[in-house]
Amino acid sequence: MTDLLLPLGQVAAIGGAVALGPLIWWRQRSRASTPAGRLRALTVLTLFLTFDLIVFGAFTRLTDSGLGCPDWPGCYSAASPVGARHHIEAAQAAMPTGPVTHGKAWIEMVHRYLASAVGLLILLLAVLSWKLARSARAHHEPAPSPWLPTLTLVWVCVQGAFGALTVTMKLFPAIVTLHLLFGLGLLMLLAWQREAYVPRPLSVSAAPAALRTAVAVVLVLALVQVALGGWVSTNYAVLACDEFPTCHGGQWWPHLDFAQGFQLWRELGQRADGSWLGFEALAAIHMAHRIGAGVVFVAILALAWTLRRHAADWSNWLLAAAGWQLASGLSNVVLDWPIAAALAHTGGATVLMALLTTLLVRLRSADH
């Protein structure tokens, strides 16, 4: 137990040090604000750092640094790669092109430090939310419910558990994909929470009652598409189709093995029976994501067209996000998956989810 608790405390302490700078900045900037205004500013700060964490998590995966420190929460039970340098050197000497190098270890640990910092900020948000609610009740004043920040705190703890499983289960594709989805869910909760402190109903002109339903449908479709994108990335299936609009060798529809490609509970690169995953399975994963992208793109265009008559600024934001995702997604294929394009694609998906969540919350506020 000591082998777990000691590095966990050390990593959390480093995360606290990372969070200290943003907290000082937040405190200085929001000194003259109301308690609700300070909470909203802290939520915006945490939202921004969560976006950074998701993108840096993608960078960790794209640089094959997920097992740079093959244990958890520390690096060979040390708080940083400095204390684990002998273990890292031995692993690198045994396998020079393997997953453990000094550079990859630092990338993985920086990701954990940033995750710890975000977790501590969310803990502070929950504590301050309950304090604000208690003060508001004492003075018979309205205040946002503290249960949403509490749910966010529980969510980030579950997300941390999936982060640990990502390492201990050796990049098990289903776990890595769930880790990504829980990260996006965390961002969506923070976007929702941000709106709760200063409600700003969407300015609409005779918006149809079905508009909120349409946004919810697009949000669900986008989530499914993100899950497919995560499955492509965690299975390294991006270049299974290295052409566009065709897939491989000029084929529009090559032989695809969806059954093996979407067998969820299996090791990385393997089938459930332990044999190697074939090209047909990887191509099926890629093509499913490509088809999903077309569906979501059309859905966003339809939603943007509807919004143009009621909230043109939101229509433009959604069109910009959809265009960004189209360009960055195509760049991954035609430019052989450069890290910059892959990070742009992940960042674009994250922004799109935050936009759709905020839009849905504001439409809900308008209805009430």
Supply the DSSP string of 354-366, one letter for each residue.
HHHHHHHHHHHHH
pLDDT, residue 202, reads 58
173 and 254 together in one domain? no
66 and 35 together in one domain? yes
360 and 327 together in one domain? yes
Pairwise pLDDT comparison (114 vs 198), residue with the higher score? 114
Domain's final residue, options 198, 213, 240: 198
143 and 271 together in one domain? no
pLDDT, residue 136, reads 82
pLDDT, residue 199, reads 58
Number of Cβ within 10 Å of residue 355's Cβ equals: 20
Nearest to 256 by CA among 236, 228, 285, 234: 285
363 pLDDT higher than 90: no
Nearest to 258 by CA among 223, 225, 233, 231: 231
301 and 282 together in one domain? yes
pLDDT, residue 145, reads 86
pLDDT, residue 311, reads 82
pLDDT, residue 74, reads 92
pLDDT, residue 348, reads 97
pLDDT, residue 138, reads 85
Secondary structure in 3-state letters for 104-168: HHHHHHHHHHHHHHHHHHHHHHHHHHHHHHHHHHHCCCCCCCCHHHHHHHHHHHHHHHHHHHHHH
* Residues near 34 by beta carbon (within 8 Å), at least 6 away in sequence: none
Catalytic residue IDs: 108
119 and 264 together in one domain? no
342 pLDDT higher than 60: yes
Q: How confident is the model over 297-304, as a mean pLDDT?
A: 96
Task: List the end-to-end C-alpha distance of the chain, in Å, as a whole number.
Answer: 51
118 pLDDT higher than 80: yes
The model's confidence at residue 365, banded by pLDDT at 50, 70 and 90, is confident
Query: Residue for token digits 């099926």?
Result: 284
User: Could you give the number of structural domains in the chain?
Assistant: 2
Identify residue 149 by its one-letter amino acid code. P
> 255 is written with which tokens?
């032989």
Q: How confident is the model over 199-222, as a mean pLDDT?
A: 77
207 pLDDT higher than 70: no
271 and 351 together in one domain? yes
H or E stretch covering 283: helix 279-308
Q: In percent, how much of the chain has pLDDT > 90?
A: 79
* Residues near 364 by beta carbon (within 8 Å), at least 6 away in sequence: 212
40 and 122 together in one domain? yes
Q: How confident is the model over 240-266, as a mean pLDDT?
A: 93
Identify residue 158 by its one-letter amino acid code. V
**Per-residue pLDDT reduced to its tens digit, 168-206:** 999 999 999 999 999 999 999 999 999 887 656 555 545
82 and 182 together in one domain? yes
16 and 97 together in one domain? yes
User: DSSP assignment, residue 278?
Assistant: P
User: DSSP assignment, residue 238?
Assistant: G
Q: Residue 271, SS3?
A: coil
Query: Residue for token digits 């209805």?
Result: 367
Domain's final residue, options 143, 166, 198: 198
98 and 247 together in one domain? no
Domain residue limits at 164: 1-198
Quote the mean pLDDT of the chain.
92
190 and 225 together in one domain? no
**Per-residue pLDDT reduced to its tens digit, 69-80:** 999 999 999 999
Domain's final residue, options 148, 179, 198: 198
